Amino acid sequence: MKYQSMDAYSRHKQLINNYCLYYKGSSLAEKFKRDDSKDKNDYDIIRENHKFLWSAEDISEAEKSWDKMIAKKYYDKLFKEYCIADLSQYEKNRIAMRWRTESEVKQGKGQFICGEKRCEKGKGLESWEPKKKRNYDEKLPEGSCSEMCPKEEVDFRIKNKLIHPMETETPFLQMRRNERKATIQKMVKEYSRPAADKKLNLKNIRTFPTLMKTVEYLLSIYENNREDSQWAHVYSFISDRFRSVRHDLIVQQLDPQKTVSLLQPMIPFYLEAKKKCETLKTSAYNKKLHNSELDECFSRWISAAKKGVDVDPEASLSF
């Protein structure tokens, strides 16, 4: 009667308890020990299913397999802008490559420090990427988005509550992220790392007039919000959105005159922001990343200016 009134789990627990009380001894634990010889942890699953590049077929297949789904989630968290290479067997024509982890991004490995797995050199580095044969009859990519933030991104970020404080009516009022209400007119396309498997959607690439409008809008935020208490939000927003502008510029391979027009107003901001961030010890400020963005602006501006385009002498003298 006692066992009949119990559910299956309680009955099992009671029987095992009685067995353990009756048959005492050290070997008892071994009898009930589960065989874990074939168990796998997350690392084992990722190691078996990881790919350096995922095709559309691989992605659709991953949706049907739990193991591959875990590997794909890990892959999505990697930073696919620069990769790390193992050249220990290059003489055998064998080179291993993998994407960077978050700690390597913060360290600057592969970007400011040599991308070879064991090398720590930080000077005299050059970037390498596979050269793509250009078809000169092929038209250059041309963006069609006329808003500072594409509708697709607006919808996604509002739905997932990914609104920056500067995209709200009260940017300097302390609020939790899920409490922020977006003002669509203030939303600006955020920077996302280009990935090797990421398909380019020209509907999300802004036209040159829209990029100019965006740069002017961001600089107006900088000019109108100079107080130290406002700086952290202002800096994190403008530096990220400027980076996104440069991405759209590069994707479309805009001509030198347009390149100069977009980059020239950014340079004074980076120069002034560097000093202010270091004085205020701004949490969003990363010295290596900031210097890299400043160097990128300068180098692209100089390269375009050398091609005989019109440069505003007063603006160029300011930096």
pLDDT of residue 57: 77
Tell me: do 170 and 301 sit in the same domain. yes
Tell me: do 79 and 191 sit in the same domain. no
Which tokens is 30 given? Answer: 């071994």
Q: How far is CA 143 from the centre of its chain?
A: 21
pLDDT band (50, 70, 90) for residue 241 = very high
> Does residue 29 form part of some domain?
no
Tell me: do 87 and 178 sit in the same domain. no
pTM listed for this prediction: 0.62
> Does residue 25 form part of some domain?
no
pLDDT of residue 214: 97
> Does residue 143 form part of some domain?
no
Say if residue 158's pLDDT is above 70: yes
Tell me: do 229 and 300 sit in the same domain. yes
Tell me: do 96 and 171 sit in the same domain. no
> Does residue 12 form part of some domain?
no
Tell me: do 175 and 65 sit in the same domain. no
Lowest mean pLDDT among 75-79, 130-134, 169-173: 130-134
pLDDT of residue 203: 92
> Does residue 178 form part of some domain?
yes
Say if residue 168's pLDDT is above 90: yes
Tell me: do 290 and 178 sit in the same domain. yes
pLDDT band (50, 70, 90) for residue 40 = confident
pLDDT of residue 317: 43
Mean pLDDT of the chain: 84
Angle at which helix 208-224 crosses helix 256-263, to 10 degrees, equals 20
Assign 206 to helix, strand or coil.
strand
Domain span including residue 304: 151-317
pLDDT of residue 65: 83
pLDDT of residue 154: 95
**Number of helical (H) and strand (E) elements in the chain, helices listed first:** 13, 2
Burial profile 21-58: b = 16 or more Cβ within 10 angstroms, e = fewer: eeeeeeeeeeeeeeeeeeeeeeeebbeebbeeebeeeb
pLDDT of residue 106: 76
Tell me: do 211 and 87 sit in the same domain. no
Tell me: do 205 and 260 sit in the same domain. yes
pLDDT of residue 129: 58
Say if residue 305's pLDDT is above 60: yes
Burial profile 196-213: b = 16 or more Cβ within 10 angstroms, e = fewer: eeeeeeeebbbbbebbbe
Lowest mean pLDDT among 25-29, 89-93, 309-313: 25-29
Domain boundary among 72, 90, 107: 107
Question: Could you tell me which residues come within 8 angstroms of residue 190 by beta carbon, excluding any fewer than 6 positions away?
Answer: 153, 157, 164, 240, 241, 244
Ranked by mean pLDDT, which of 35-44, 174-183, 191-200, 212-221 comes out on top?
Answer: 212-221
pLDDT of residue 29: 60
Percentage of residues of the chain with pLDDT beyond 90: 36
Instruction: Say if residues 78 and 198 touch (Cβ distance below 8 Å).
Output: no
Tell me: do 62 and 157 sit in the same domain. no
Assign 82 to helix, strand or coil.
strand
| Total structural domains within the chain | 2
